[in-house]
């Protein structure tokens, strides 16, 4: 159900404050992208409704605090007209987060913003038994903590050396954070077990002798931040953003049908027989070379 089809006061983007006579309104900004006109509009709207500042959240949204709840419907109409409608925060799919990806980041392996916007279009505000946070990271550096979300998507690539041409300069060794690359007898060697498929060695090679192969998206489920941070479990690796969207569709439906309310998804994975769900997804989309848990 689209959020705008619900009463404004019932939507998760309207948050009661410690002072119950005031509310905070969270906006919907997929991937944290704002046009300059929308940014100016948010400032004007916040000022018009009595706020003297706004809050940038960890999920790439803007919150307007200390608002009169009696004016929320009027505010919601103005936010909708500005292209920054009321967001989500409760048991639903909340604002989709993405790093800059290949649009700007020199370490990114995949495009992220367009994927996040498509995920937002398909799933934002979907009512579920639990809150579902979706984050897209362009590489395993995971600057936006994709590992700690109910659904995390991480872009990875496999480095392939060009035989006989490596000079053994050692630049890739210095850049590898996993100590997966060594130089032996003037030859660059990769320890596949240590490699995180981040692509740092590819980007760092001054002679472009390491090429990228097997560019893909790793999808994880059940990550948790908060009091007991826990990485999500690997579900599948797929090679296109379209397939990512299809996989996320299956995950969201599985959560809708199987998850129990009032507990984080990551706390329920064993009870929900995640391994069986994983097998079903891999049969449908291919196992992508993941290791068995």
Q: Are 135 and 219 in contact (CB under 8 A)?
A: no
For the chain, the structural domain boundaries read 3-81, 97-156+215-285
- Scan for tokens 């002679």, then name that residue: 207
293 has pLDDT over 50: no
User: Hey, do 3-81 and 97-156+215-285 end up sharing a CATH topology, with the first three levels equal?
Assistant: no
Sequence-ordered list of residues with C-beta below 8 angstroms from that of 137, at least 6 positions apart, any chain: 98, 99, 112, 143, 144, 146, 152, 153, 154, 155
pLDDT confidence tier of residue 210, bands split at 50, 70 and 90: confident
Task: Please give the share of the chain, as a percent, with pLDDT higher than 90.
Answer: 79
- Scan for tokens 């994975």, then name that residue: 269
For domain 97-156+215-285, which architecture applies? Answer: 2-Layer Sandwich (3.30)
Sequence-ordered list of residues with C-beta below 8 angstroms from that of 264, at least 6 positions apart, any chain: 130, 150, 224, 226
For domain 3-81, which architecture applies? Answer: 2-Layer Sandwich (3.30)
101 has pLDDT over 80: yes
- Tell me the pLDDT tens digit for each residue of 150-207: 999 999 999 988 777 888 888 999 999 999 999 888 788 889 899 999 999 998 888 8
HEC letters along the chain: CCHHHCCHHHCCCEEECCCCCCEEEEECCHHHCCCHHHHHHHHHHHHHCCCCCCEECCCCCEEEEEECHHHHHHHHHHHHHCCCCECCCCCEECCCEECCHHHCCCCCCCCCHHHHHHHHHHHCCCECCCCECEEEECCCCCCCCHHHCCEEEEEEEEEEECCCCCCCCCHHHHHCCCCCEEEECCEEEECCCCCCCCCHHHHHCCCCCEEEEEEEEEEEECCECCCCCECCEEEEEECCHHHHHHHHHHHHHHHHHHCCCCCCHHHCCCCCCHHHHHHHHHHHHCCCCCCCC
pLDDT of 270: 96
pLDDT confidence tier of residue 2, bands split at 50, 70 and 90: very low
- Tell me the pLDDT tens digit for each residue of 16-40: 999 999 999 999 999 999 999 999 9
Cα–Cα dist 69/11, whole Å: 13
């Amino acid at each position: 159900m689209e959020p705008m089809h619900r009463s404004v006061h019932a939507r998760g983007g309207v948050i009661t404050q410690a002072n119950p006579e005031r509310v905070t309104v969270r906006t919907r900004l997929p991937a944290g992208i704002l046009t300059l006109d929308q940014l100016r509009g948010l400032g004007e709207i916040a000022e018009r409704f009595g706020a003297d500042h706004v809050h940038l959240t960890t999920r790439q949204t803007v919150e307007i605090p200390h608002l009169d709840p009696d004016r929320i419907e009027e505010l919601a109409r103005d936010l909708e007209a500005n292209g920054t409608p009321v967001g989500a925060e409760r048991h639903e799919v909340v604002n989709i987060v993405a790093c800059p990806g290949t649009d700007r980041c020199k370490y990114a392996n995949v495009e992220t913003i367009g994927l996040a916007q498509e995920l937002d279009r398909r799933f934002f505000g979907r009512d579920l038994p639990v809150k579902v946070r979706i984050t897209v990271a362009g590489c395993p550096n995971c600057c936006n903590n994709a590992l700690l979300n109910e659904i995390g998507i991480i872009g990875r690539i496999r480095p392939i050396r060009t035989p006989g041409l490596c000079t053994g300069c050692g630049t890739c060794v210095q850049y590898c954070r996993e100590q997966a690359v060594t130089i032996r007898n003037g030859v660059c060697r990769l320890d596949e077990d240590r490699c995180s498929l981040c692509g740092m060695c590819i980007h760092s090679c001054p002679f472009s002798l390491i090429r990228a192969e097997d560019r893909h998206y790793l999808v994880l489920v059940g990550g948790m931040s908060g009091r007991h941070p826990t990485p999500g479990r690997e579900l599948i690796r797929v090679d296109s953003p379209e397939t990512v969207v299809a996989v996320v569709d299956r995950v969201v439906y599985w959560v809708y049908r199987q998850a129990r309310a009032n507990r984080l998804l990551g706390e329920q994975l064993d009870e929900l027989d995640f391994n069986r769900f994983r097998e079903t997804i891999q049969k449908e989309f291919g196992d992508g070379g993941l290791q068995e848990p």
